[in-house]
Amino acid sequence: MQFNTAQRELTLKIVYYGPGLSGKTTNLRALYQRIQPALRGHLMTLDTADDRTLFFDTLPLVFKSGNLKVKLKLFTVPGQVMHNSTRRIVLQGADAIAFIADSQPSKRQENYKYWMNMVENLKINGLSIENLPHVVQWNKKDLGDASTAQAVENMRKEGRQPVFEAVAVSGEGVLETFLALVELTFDRIDKVYLLGDKLGLDKANFVEEVRRCLVDPPAQSTYLTPSQPVAAVRTPEPVKPEDKHETSPEQKPPTKKVEGK
Ligand SMILES: Nc1nc2c(ncn2[C@@H]2O[C@H](COP(=O)(O)OP(=O)(O)OP(=O)(O)O)[C@@H](O)[C@H]2O)c(=O)[nH]1
Ligand SMILES: [Mg+2]
């Protein structure tokens, strides 16, 4: 969290993390499409020719809450194995994480591997998933099967973090994931920095302002309840030992895209 006292500006960094091709960039694109055109900033993506994220994507969302200017800076990490150092750098100073898992049954181990990779990279940055607001999104629901539905249900039963299913290509579940994370993030920073007491920020107002930035936001969040724990470590499902080989597939030249207003 950054707070600029002179300008009364609060900046929060939200990182979309997960395995390669799980749909992190697609989440940001879908979100971009659902931000009121008059209010949205630039979605910046830097991809290889085959649309793999090379460094990161970024999308800002700026709104007023009380007499504060709030800037949510959304980032995605590149999922390819060889970009681990970039993933670590993007995590620096993260205030919240949306973990985008892939629902395809064949990707179960990959999800686990990247969850552990995230935990490790957070640790190197002096952060811990135990103290960071986070949600899990099982994206590509359309490619999941009964075993995926079971895994999602099991994770929900554990109740360690909000769990969403999504089809990011069609926008399904994208706003729900984001809004739940915004709520959790507010709870956490309020608890740590006493935003309510010190800056007069109010959660309902904060969330409402974010919703106002969106086109047709989903009905009020029924997902989170005040008694729900903010964050805890998820015990990953047991899977085979992770494959640590870092391969370096041939890279295609990057293409930078900026989606304007
Ligand atoms: N069927 C299906 N395809 C999806 C879904 N979400 C994303 N995709 C596709 O999956 C591919 C990868 O999506 P990206 O958003 O680029 O994945 P990423 O996680 O950003 O990948 P990296 O940048 O390499 O880490 C693209 O072809 C998307 O169109 C989904 O819900 N269902
Ligand atoms: Mg990407």
Pocket test for ligand 1, best of 21, 84, 138, 247 (most atoms within 8 A of CB): 21
Looking at the DSSP assignment, which residues form a beta bridge with residue 45?
A: 257
Question: How much is the average pLDDT of 148-154?
Answer: 97
Q: Report the distance separating Cα 47 and Cα 207, nearest Å.
A: 32
Answer whether 22 contacts ligand 1 (Cβ < 6 A). Answer: yes
Of the two residues 235 and 9, the one the predictor is more confident about is 9
Nearest ligand 1 atom to alpha carbon 100? 19
- How far is ligand 1, taken at its centre, from the CA of residue 54, in Å? 14
pLDDT at 218: 92
Nearest to 173 by CA among 152, 154, 190: 152
In the chain, the domains with their CATH numbers are: 2-219 (3.40.50.300)
Ligand 1, atom 29: closest residue by C-alpha: 169
Residue nearest ligand 1's atom 1 by CA = 140
> What is the number of the ligand 1 atom nearest to the C-alpha of 47?
23
Residue 127 clears pLDDT 50, i.e. is over it: yes
Q: Can you tell me the distance from the alpha carbon of 206 to that of 240, in angstroms, rounded to the nearest whole number?
A: 43
Q: Answer yes or no: is pLDDT of 237 > 70.
A: no
Q: Is the pLDDT of residue 126 over 90?
A: yes
Mean of the per-residue pLDDT values for the chain? Answer: 87
Tens-place pLDDT, residues 175-211: 999 999 999 999 999 998 888 888 888 999 999 999 9
Testing ligand 1's pocket by substitution, the residue of 22, 24, 26, 75 carrying the most ligand atoms inside 8 A of its CB is 26
Q: Residue 32: left if φ>0, alpha if ψ -120 to 50, beta else—which one?
A: alpha
